[in-house]
Copies of this chain bind each other. A is one copy, B any other.
Amino acid sequence: MPAERAALSARQQDIVRAARDLLTSEGVEALTLGRVAQALGIKPPSLYKHFGGKRELEAVLIAEGLEAHAEALRGARSLTEIAAAYRRFALANPQLYRLMTERPLPRDLLPPGLEERAAAPVIHAAGGDPDLARATWAFAHGMVQLELADRFPPGADLDAAWDTAITAFEARVRA
């Protein structure tokens, strides 16, 4: 069951909600079948009556996240807007962003076409230039990941770093 082929049952939605809450409030590390079951007042094995396993449950959250991320970027008309929206989404949903990006995507469990749909807004904002779109995506992803991982020195002016890159990219889009 590719996790989204069919709509989720009510119980499945309960479980996903519990998992999402746990992820949001306690982080990727706390997202464990034991904790999810506990939050629902049931035992871990019971979850297997609703999902094929942890990977499948995570895949639902990841799919939701990709969808929401794409939605957050949809209106953006320029690289500047895309970048701002990208960062805003990631910082507003740091644990979800980590779940979505820290490990290889469970492509076999994601709705087909979702990945492309999530990438579309960036390509659009890059004026259709796929190279520039990929560069922007990589930059935004790298910035966010380094920021979430606390890899920048304290006091680093991250706004300025974003500005520097996006300005440079914008110059290219007009060229």
Q: Which residues of B contact A156 (CB under 8 A)?
A: 130, 134
Q: Which residues of B contact A139 (CB under 8 A)?
A: 135, 138-139, 142, 165
- Give how many copies assemble into the complex: 2
CA distance A71 to B109 in the complex (A): 40
Nearest CB to that of A161 among chain B residues? B134
Q: Is A37 an interface residue (CB 8 A)?
A: no
Q: Which residues of B contact A141 (CB under 8 A)?
A: 142, 145-146
Q: Is A172 an interface residue (CB 8 A)?
A: yes
In the complex with contacts A140-B142, A143-B142, A135-B149 CB distance below 8 A? no
CB distance from A164 to the nearest CB of B (A): 4
CB distance from A1 to the nearest CB of B (A): 24
CB distance from A42 to the nearest CB of B (A): 30
Question: Can you list 19 A-B pairs with a CB-CB distance of less than 8 A?
Answer: A101-B149, A104-B149, A116-B153, A130-B156, A130-B157, A134-B152, A134-B156, A134-B158, A134-B161, A135-B162, A137-B142, A138-B139, A139-B165, A140-B142, A141-B146, A142-B145, A167-B172, A168-B172, A171-B171
CA distance A171 to B167 in the complex (A): 11
CA distance A61 to B128 in the complex (A): 41
Please tell me if the beta carbons of B150 and A138 are within 8 angstroms of each other in the complex. Answer: no
CA distance A135 to B157 in the complex (A): 11
Inter-chain pairs besides A131-B161, A165-B165, A167-B172, 18 sampled, C-beta below 8 Å:
A104-B149, A104-B150, A105-B149, A130-B156, A130-B157, A131-B163, A131-B164, A132-B161, A132-B164, A134-B158, A135-B164, A137-B142, A138-B139, A139-B142, A140-B142, A141-B142, A165-B168, A168-B168
